[in-house]
Amino acid sequence: MAILRTLLGAAAMAVAGTLPLQAQQLTVWHDLGDNGIKWFEAMSAEFAKSKPGVTVKSLSFPTDQWFGRVIGALNTDTAPDLIYNNYERVIRIQDQTGKVSDMKDVLAKVTDKGFLGEDDIKVATYKGKQIIIPIQRVQMGFGVRKSWLDKVGEKFPETWDDAKRVANKFRDSDPDGNGKADTFGFGLQAAKPRDLIHMLDLFLFGSGIRNTLIDPAGTIMVDEPAHAAVLEEFLKTYTSYKFVAPDTINHSFPEMYQGIEGGRAGMFRVGDWNVKKWDGEKVLGGDFLVGPWPKMPGAAQNYVVIGGMRGVGVPENAPNKALAQEFAAFMLSKAAQQASLENVGAAVRKDLDVAALSPRSQYFAKAEARLIAYDFPESIHTFYPELEAAYHKKLMSGIANPPADWKPFITETAKEMRDLAAKLKAK
C-alpha cells in the first residue's frame, strides 16, 4: 500500500511538473502612447525571465482620460496594478483618492540605485509618502532647425540676443525657401494654464531662476528684478516682438506640435521623448540641433531644464500588489532602463549603452549638459494649481491687450498673486 501511495505521489508530482505555472498578468495604465506600449512589452519579456508566467499588459490613455480613469478606478476598487506618469499627476491622484501606496520600503530593498539623487527622491515624495519610484528624468532643451540656421547664416543661439536676431531672420528671410512669408521664430503655446506657464518655466529655469511663481516659503517671486526681466522678454515674444504665429494665443500642445512638425516654427522646446519621433524621416528627419535654453541678460549661466520625473506607483488596492511592487523595483534594472531609453528616450540610470542613439538622443541620454530642475511647487503648496490658473489668466490678459510698458503690469500681477496666495493659504 505504501509503495502504491509513493508511486501515486510521484506520478502526481510528475504530472504537476509538466503543467505550466499559473499565468499572472499585471496591468499598467500610462499616457506614453505607442512608444510606451512597446517599452512595457520589452520589459514584460525581460521580467518573465525571472518570473515565468507573468505578463505585463500596458494601456495608454490620453492624459486627460488617464486622470479620470485612474481616479475612478482607485476610488471604486477596480484599480490597475500599476500607474505610470509624471510626479505632479500622481500627486493629484493621491489628493483625489488617498490610495497611492508608499514605495519607500520597495525602494529600500533595491540594492542597485546609486544613480538616484536626493532631488529625485524628493520629487517622488509627497506629504511624507513616496508615491512613485523615479524611472525617467524629463529633460527639455532648446531646439533649432539646422537647415534654417544654415540658410540665414547663423549658429545655434547661445544668448537671448542671439535668439532674437535668429527669430527675426526666421520670420523675415524665408528660411524654408518656399517663397512665402509663412515661418516664425518660435513655436510656443498659450491657451491653457499649463501651456503658457510651462513655456515660461523653460525660459526662467533655462536662465537659472529657481521659481516660476512662488518659492517654497510661499513668497511670490514674479517681480523680483531678474525674474521680472525674463518675464518681460517672454511676454514680448508673444506680442511686440512678433516672434510667434498670431494664433498662438489659442494654441495648446497639439497646435504647437503642428507648427513645429509642419515647418512653421524655427525654435522650440525639445523634450527627450520628442527626439525619437522628430528624428523620423516623415517628421523633422533629424533636421534640428539641441542645446541649453538661451542665456537671458544678467543670467550667469544657461541650462537644459529637468522638468520633473516620471515614475511608477502602485495603488493600495492593486489586485496583485506584491507582484506589482516587484515589477516597479525591476523597472530600475539595467535591462528595463535600457528599454526605456530606446523606446521612450529617457531613463534615470547613467550606465546605459547610448551608442545606437542619434546625436540628439545622446545629448539627453548622456545628461552632459548643464542641468537645472523645476521647483515642483505642487508638492509643497496644495493650492498651486488654482494660483497658477489665476496667473495664467492675468498673463493672458496682458498678451491679449499688451500694455505700452510691461513693468507696471508685472508689479500689479505680483500684487494680485500675493493677495490670492494669502487667500488660498487661509482656506
Partner 1 sequence: MIETLDVVWRHRIFYLFVLPFAVLTILFGLWPILLSIQVSFTASATALRPNPTYVGFANYLVVLSDPAFLASLTKTFLYTALSVVANLAFALGVAVLLDSALLTRGNLFFRLAIFLPVVTPDVAGYVVWRWLFDRSFGAINAMLEMIGAPAFAGLTSARTAMASLLIAELWHHAGFYMIIFLANLSMRDKALEEAAHVDGATAWQRWRYVILPQLKPALIINTVYALIQFLKTFTVVVVMTKGGPNEATNFVSYYAYQLFDQGRYGEATAMATILFAIVILISLTFYRIADREVAA
- Interface positions with partner 1 (CB under 8 A): 64, 71-72, 75-76, 92, 95-98, 182, 184, 190-192, 245-247, 249-250, 252, 264, 385-386, 389, 393, 396-397, 399-401
Q: Is 35 helix (H, G, I), strand (E, B) or coil?
A: helix
Of 71 and 152, the one with the shorter C-beta distance to partner 1 is 71
Shortest reach from residue 386's CB to partner 1, in Å: 7
CA-based Rg of the chain, rounded to a whole angstrom?
25
Shortest reach from residue 180's CB to partner 1, in Å: 8
Query: What is the C-alpha separation between 310 and 137, in angstroms, rounded?
Result: 6
Per DSSP, 398 falls in state H
Of 367 and 399, the one with the shorter C-beta distance to partner 1 is 399
Shortest reach from residue 62's CB to partner 1, in Å: 13
Shortest reach from residue 133's CB to partner 1, in Å: 24
Shortest reach from residue 87's CB to partner 1, in Å: 16
Query: What is the C-alpha separation between 151 and 130, in angstroms, rounded?
Result: 50
Of 264 and 334, the one with the shorter C-beta distance to partner 1 is 264
Cβ proximity of 332 and 147 under 8 Å = no
Of 10 and 400, the one with the shorter C-beta distance to partner 1 is 400
Shortest reach from residue 94's CB to partner 1, in Å: 10
Of 310 and 394, the one with the shorter C-beta distance to partner 1 is 394
Within a 10 A sphere around the Cβ of 115, how many other Cβ atoms?
15
Residue 337: φ, ψ to 5°: -70, -35
384-400 helix and 406-426 helix, angle to the nearest 10 degrees? 160
Shortest reach from residue 388's CB to partner 1, in Å: 9
- Which residue from 103, 134, 107, 141 is spatially nearest to 119, judged by alpha carbons? 134
The DSSP H or E segment spanning 307 is strand 304-313
Of 59 and 249, the one with the shorter C-beta distance to partner 1 is 249
Of 250 and 301, the one with the shorter C-beta distance to partner 1 is 250
Distances (CA, A) of 409 to 188, 294, 333, 351, 395: 22, 24, 50, 48, 9
> Residue 421: which residues within 8 A CB-CB, separation 6 or more?
214, 218, 220, 381, 383, 387
Of 380 and 389, the one with the shorter C-beta distance to partner 1 is 389
Q: Cell 536626493 belongs to which residue?
A: 118
Of 89 and 276, the one with the shorter C-beta distance to partner 1 is 89
Shortest reach from residue 191's CB to partner 1, in Å: 4
Of 96 and 168, the one with the shorter C-beta distance to partner 1 is 96
Query: What is the C-alpha separation between 201 and 378, in angstroms, rounded?
Result: 14
Query: What is the C-alpha separation between 369 and 374, in angstroms, rounded?
Result: 16
To 5 degrees, how large is the angle CA 97–CA 98–CA 99? 85
Shortest reach from residue 321's CB to partner 1, in Å: 19
Cβ proximity of 327 and 26 under 8 Å = yes
Of 68 and 280, the one with the shorter C-beta distance to partner 1 is 68
Q: Is 257 helix (H, G, I), strand (E, B) or coil?
A: helix
Cβ proximity of 62 and 32 under 8 Å = no
Q: Cell 520629487 belongs to which residue?
A: 123
Distances (CA, A) of 29 to 66, 205, 311, 395: 8, 31, 12, 35
Q: 362: exposed, middle or buried (C-beta count within 10 Å: 0-12, 13-18, 19+)?
A: middle
Strands 371-373 and 288-291: unpaired
Shortest reach from residue 398's CB to partner 1, in Å: 9
Shortest reach from residue 52's CB to partner 1, in Å: 37
